Copies of this chain bind each other. A is one copy, B any other.
Amino acid sequence: MSTSDAPERRTGVTRRAVLTAGGVAAVGAVVASTHGAGASTDSASSIPFFGKHQGGIVTPAQGHLALGIFNVAASDRQELKRMLADWGRAAQRLTVGLPLVETYDGSYPPSDTGEALGLGAANLTLTFGYGPSLFNDRFGLSSRRPKVLVDLPAFDGDELNPAFTAGDLCVQACADDPQVAFHAIRSLARLGLGTVELQSLQLGSGRTSATSSEQRSARNLLGFKDGTNNLRGGDSALLKRWLWVGARDDQQWMTGGTYLVARRIQMNLSTWSSTPLKVQESVIGRKRSSGAPLTGEREHDKANFEALDPHGFPVIPLGAHIRVAAPETNGGVHLLRRGYNFIDGVDERTGNLNAGLLFLCFQRDPVKQFTALQGDLARSDNLSQYVTHVGSGVFACPPGLGSNDELGASLFD
């Protein structure tokens, strides 16, 4: 892959003076329009950036995640608008495996940090979301806030770390290569220097949720298959009902969009792994080896919540995770899950592994879907004894862009 772009391709050039650790420098962060820019890359490994919906939602879940949460430091509406447009142009390039355009004058810092040169698009998707706090009075956006975009309530057992909670903006980068996903968030953070600050960067791998019928279920760090009953990209009727915001739901600019709920779930792995296998299986409601419900033989067998054992007790206990979370016990509510395992080394205070699940899910209405469901889970899911939610955010993800659209423009116009 070339590390620079032919000058004749450069249209719509912007330059930004940005604050850096070393003082103010003209970084020359030049972002070109990308019409035709994908020509030199391997299209087989890239996901279209333009479309009715954003990528990274029903896209078959890639192997790696970098989740960036940003806060807006600027107080200027125009500056925020300009940065979002820059982000959109950058995303077009990054998702076809092109670097941000090179600065040809070596006297300036390179506009692209370079660590992903040669790695290709690696099926990178960038999914942008706006947090409730973006719609307070700072940017004159309060009339644009969707009614369902409100901070999640406190749930039983939550122990939220502010670093992983809330946030004005969220970018979910997913890719087949972790360095490509990281590079994308790093690039957006640099483009936004002086306008936004990166509150947190969370890396995940080992996707726990299949989002396409071709993908097999994967295992979380509890050792169990996860996401067996997930919505899939091919479930058109369910996606229309439970995933995509409809034209009459609320704010017009969200039509075709969806809401992301991101929860950082710490797992007490040492307690879990000293729990007998039968107890683990009764907590989840599934057999570990096959992933089948305790009433079935195969992973995708339908769970029978009525079945009783010879002593008259439910085969799938009343507090089993799959019972409490099942659509059948929650008014039919579905979520599109897109979780990743995280492993952040050893907690120096406790000596335990600092690891768990970055639970990401998308839905049409976070109040009626995630919040309703999690309220039940926090109260009665037997799994709650083994996990602690330590981060939380909700974000409005607008629909996809047409090839002449600017990211964020629909918020402001």
CA distance A112 to B117 in the complex (A): 39
Assembly stoichiometry (copies): 2
CA distance A233 to B198 in the complex (A): 41
- On whether the beta carbons of A346 and B200 are closer than 8 Å, the reply is yes
A79 interface contact, C-beta 8 A:
no
- On whether the beta carbons of B343 and A270 are closer than 8 Å, the reply is no
Contacts of A278 in B (CB 8 A): 106-107
CA distance A108 to B220 in the complex (A): 20
Contacts of A275 in B (CB 8 A): 22, 109
Interface code A110-145, partner B: CB below 8 Å = 1, 0 otherwise?
Answer: 101111111000000000000000000000000000
| Set B4, B66, B190, B343: member contacting A273, Cβ < 8 A | B190
Chain A, interface size category, equals 35 or more
- On whether the beta carbons of B221 and A205 are closer than 8 Å, the reply is no
CA distance A25 to B219 in the complex (A): 25
CB distance from A122 to the nearest CB of B (A): 11
Question: Which residue of chain B is the closest to A201 with respect to CB atoms?
Answer: B345
A224 interface contact, C-beta 8 A:
yes
- On whether the beta carbons of A219 and B115 are closer than 8 Å, the reply is yes
CA distance A219 to B180 in the complex (A): 11
A341 interface contact, C-beta 8 A:
yes
CB distance from A104 to the nearest CB of B (A): 9
CA distance A18 to B20 in the complex (A): 51
CA distance A353 to B183 in the complex (A): 12
- On whether the beta carbons of A109 and B346 are closer than 8 Å, the reply is no
With known contacts A108-B277, A206-B178, A271-B21, A353–B222 Cβ distance under 8 A: no
Contacts of A198 in B (CB 8 A): 346, 351, 353
- On whether the beta carbons of A219 and B114 are closer than 8 Å, the reply is yes
Contacts of A345 in B (CB 8 A): 200-203, 344
CB distance from A393 to the nearest CB of B (A): 15
CB distance from A211 to the nearest CB of B (A): 18
CA distance A197 to B347 in the complex (A): 12
CB distance from A146 to the nearest CB of B (A): 28
Contacts of A276 in B (CB 8 A): 106-109
Interface code A246-264, partner B: CB below 8 Å = 1, 0 otherwise?
Answer: 0000000000000000000
A274 interface contact, C-beta 8 A:
yes
* CB proximity to B under 8 Å, residues A212-269: 216, 219-224, 268-269
- On whether the beta carbons of A289 and B21 are closer than 8 Å, the reply is no
| Set B22, B108, B206: member contacting A115, Cβ < 8 A | B206
| Set B106, B113, B114, B273: member contacting A109, Cβ < 8 A | B273
CA distance A223 to B186 in the complex (A): 12
- On whether the beta carbons of B179 and A206 are closer than 8 Å, the reply is yes
Question: Which residue of chain B is the closest to A288 with respect to CB atoms?
Answer: B114
Question: Which residue of chain B is the closest to A69 with respect to CB atoms?
Answer: B346
CA distance A353 to B187 in the complex (A): 12
CA distance A202 to B343 in the complex (A): 9
A27 interface contact, C-beta 8 A:
yes
- On whether the beta carbons of A21 and B352 are closer than 8 Å, the reply is yes
Contacts of A201 in B (CB 8 A): 343, 345-346, 353
A280 interface contact, C-beta 8 A:
yes
- On whether the beta carbons of A115 and B223 are closer than 8 Å, the reply is yes
- On whether the beta carbons of B346 and A271 are closer than 8 Å, the reply is no
Contacts of A410 in B (CB 8 A): none
Name 12 A/B residue pairs within 8 A (Cβ), A-sorted.
A20-B271, A21-B268, A21-B270, A22-B275, A27-B274, A107-B277, A114-B222, A115-B222, A117-B289, A179-B206, A201-B343, A344-B344
Q: What are the 5 closest A-B residue pairs judged by CB atoms, nearest first?
A: A114-B223, A20-B274, A106-B278, A21-B270, A179-B206
